[in-house]
Amino acid sequence: MIRQTKPFLKLSIYIIVLTSLLNCAPNPKIESVPKPESVSKSVDQDKPTVKEPSTPAHSPLKVYRPKKVVLEKPGNQYFYFMKSLDSRNNDDLAMAVNDLKKAIQADPHSIYLQKELVLLYLNQKDETNTLKMVEALLKKKPDDLEALILSARVKQVFNQPQGAKEIYEKIIRLDPLKKNIYLMLGQQYTEENDLKNALRVYKNFTKQFPKSYAGYFFLGRTLAQQRKTKAAIAAFKKTLKLEPGLEEPLWELIKLYQSQGSAKKVEKTYLKILKSDAQNIGAAMGLGYFYYKNKKFKQSGRILKLLGRRSLKEPAITRKLIQNYIERQHHTQALVIIRGMLKGVPHNSELNYIAATVYHLEKKDTIAIRYFDKVKPDSDFYTDAVIQIAFILQNKGNVDEAIRRIEKVVKTASDKPAIMLYLGGMYEEKEDYERAAKVLKQGLALASDNTKLHFRLGVVYDKQGLKQASIETMKHVIGLDPKHHNALNYLGYTYTELGENLDEAELLITRALKIKPDDGYITDSLGWVHYKKGNYDTALQFLQKAAALVPDDPIILEHLGDAYMKMNTPDKALKYYRRSLSKRKNDKSIIKEKIQKVVKHLSK
């Protein structure tokens, strides 16, 4: 069947904020409190930075190189090794593997060459040969540390954590001074939530390297996960004693002090961060919210007002707000911070837009409209703000006001075809198909290859009873975009309902289903075309699946009832006819007639 969605499609406010306002890619996960600004100090050779737990097991593996290469005649291992390097540099990994195998044949005792081959197989994601080569290496050199490290990393890459842990434990027994191995092993246990063993590893690390701040930092995190708050605090304080300039332990301490309800310590720690870095955005936001929560409104207002003024010249402030609060759905905190910032810059369109976004996410649409209305006409967000207001009004059933809002920005909109699409969709919802078609055509005059406008126009033609015009428009959409599953399904279903071109209809719908294999509406269309072709067994299979995917659609339920009637199971047909009737808001007469016929049939 044809999906009966509202023609006016909601814009993703979230995506608009992230892409238009920030013009940046999605950011990685952040901590449960605002992530601190980067303070990453390098430690000695094997220590990671404290900014994030180092996970070397998932990092690019070291590519070994000989200290000296002597290129001799073909047959010499160095000759084939150099050929392999050249192939690798040209991204021809298959040839690189082939040449390296020849090098190993020339020098079968070279552990170094075998390690190189392991890395090549790993780059090819050849799990079988990678693991096979690693096992062969370890048989020859069971206590070779480089081979063991390589083997453990390979096992992690191919999701064999148990094997990796056993090897890391062995490496530590053979050489307790391998710092990175403690971190990799501890991280592996942490990822598996085996905190007992993670704690054991990090404790051994700190015993072996008592001056390593990294060891105490990860020990503190593990203790915190075990809710051993006092011990975790002691570990983070030790971290800071060893490396006073670090910021990350302070953030961990803030979380722990918050869990203890130690307001003074939380405040003191925030102030310590800001004393070291007065421009620290995360600390300012966190402290501003902390003061608000503790009813210190003057202190909170002073900090947040200043952040608002700074945001005019520092886009990172808005980005931090989104990353640390909105992305993590901490909407209450976000709104406190935004409102505080707006007191410093009450007419800032971007902040008003973000405030409206959060209120909309919180389903407080009346307030959302108020903030959207504060977005100024000269802002890049003005058109989007008006569209969002219209969307909210449309959902409330006030389509006329929604149309008035959209028409207000048509002339000034930077993306007029998109506006025309929404406006046309609203006229379509009002069943003013003539005006809807006119608006959509105006949009196409500006963007003749816009498939969304063409598709919507095809739908409007269909609703006007202009079947041939609808068919030709859908064909045009498919010509522009052969993978437009909605157009493929629409055209196929239209042919099916008309009872013509059924073979072509089946091909069209099958193409659509390959693109969207779990779409219940397309699945229904395929079942329905089989029904029309008399393939009732096949039709029933597809219609049952469609009803499982979309259990409350009245048309799909009716189709399934029709299929059961053809399969001579009227009791099941009656069940689905009645379900279909219960889901209908109008057009109930036909389904009622079907129910009466089945009841009469069963009473005989």
Cα 57 to Cα 52, 144, 147, 155, 364: the distances in Å are 14, 18, 14, 9, 46
Question: If you search the block for the tokens 């004393």, which residue do you land on?
Answer: 275
Residue 380 has pLDDT above 80, yes or no: yes
Q: What is the mean pLDDT of residues 138-152?
A: 80
pLDDT in the model for residue 126: 80
pLDDT band of 71, cuts 50, 70, 90: very low
- In whole angstroms, give the CA distance from residue 413 to residue 37: 38
Residue 585 has pLDDT above 90, yes or no: no
Per-residue pLDDT reduced to its tens digit, 247-295: 999 999 999 999 999 999 999 999 999 999 999 999 999 999 999 999 9
Residue 83 has pLDDT above 80, yes or no: yes
pLDDT in the model for residue 3: 60
Q: Select the more confidently predicted residue: 104 or 170.
A: 170
Residue 484 has pLDDT above 90, yes or no: yes
Q: What's the half-sphere exposure (Cβ side, CA atoms, 13 Å) at 146?
A: 12
pLDDT in the model for residue 50: 35
Question: What is the residue type of 34?
Answer: P
pLDDT band of 45, cuts 50, 70, 90: very low
- In whole angstroms, give the CA distance from residue 155 to residue 164: 5
Name all domains of the chain by residue range, CATH numbers in brackets.
Answer: 482-603 (1.25.40.10)
Residue 4 has pLDDT above 80, yes or no: no
Per-residue pLDDT reduced to its tens digit, 310-351: 999 999 999 999 999 999 999 999 999 999 999 999 999 999
Plot region of 45 (φ>0 → left; ψ -120 to 50 → alpha; else → beta): alpha
Out of 51-65, 116-130, 162-176, pick the least confident: 51-65
Query: The tokens of 270 are what?
Result: 């925030």
pLDDT band of 2, cuts 50, 70, 90: low
Residue (of 149, 166, 76) closest to 113 by Cα position: 76
Residue 67 has pLDDT above 50, yes or no: no
Mean model confidence pLDDT for the chain: 86
Q: Select the more confidently predicted residue: 410 or 208.
A: 208
Query: The tokens of 275 are what?
Result: 């004393």
Start-to-end Cα distance in the chain: 33
Residue 64 has pLDDT above 60, yes or no: no
What is the SS3 assignment for 210?
A: coil
pLDDT band of 572, cuts 50, 70, 90: very high
Per-residue pLDDT reduced to its tens digit, 356-367: 999 999 999 999
Per-residue pLDDT reduced to its tens digit, 202-256: 999 999 999 999 999 999 999 999 999 999 999 999 999 999 999 999 999 999 9
Q: What is the mean pLDDT of residues 369-385?
A: 92
Query: The tokens of 34 are what?
Result: 């605002």
- Residue 250 CB neighbours (<10 A): 19
pTM for this model (two decimals): 0.68
Plot region of 128 (φ>0 → left; ψ -120 to 50 → alpha; else → beta): alpha
Close Cβ partners of 496 (under 8 Å, ≥ 6 residues apart):
502, 505, 509, 525, 528, 529, 532
What is the maximum alpha-carbon separation in the chain? 96
Question: What is the residue type of 1?
Answer: M
pLDDT in the model for residue 109: 80
Residue (of 480, 475, 479) closest to 492 by Cα position: 475
Asked if 428 contacts 459 with a C-beta cutoff of 8 angstroms, the reply is yes
Out of 141-145, 399-403, 459-463, pick the least confident: 141-145
* Residues written for the chain: 604
Asked if 394 contacts 429 with a C-beta cutoff of 8 angstroms, the reply is yes
Q: pLDDT > 70: what percent of the chain?
A: 87
pLDDT in the model for residue 13: 40
pLDDT in the model for residue 75: 57
Residue 432 has pLDDT above 60, yes or no: yes
pLDDT in the model for residue 261: 95
Asked if 213 contacts 239 with a C-beta cutoff of 8 angstroms, the reply is yes
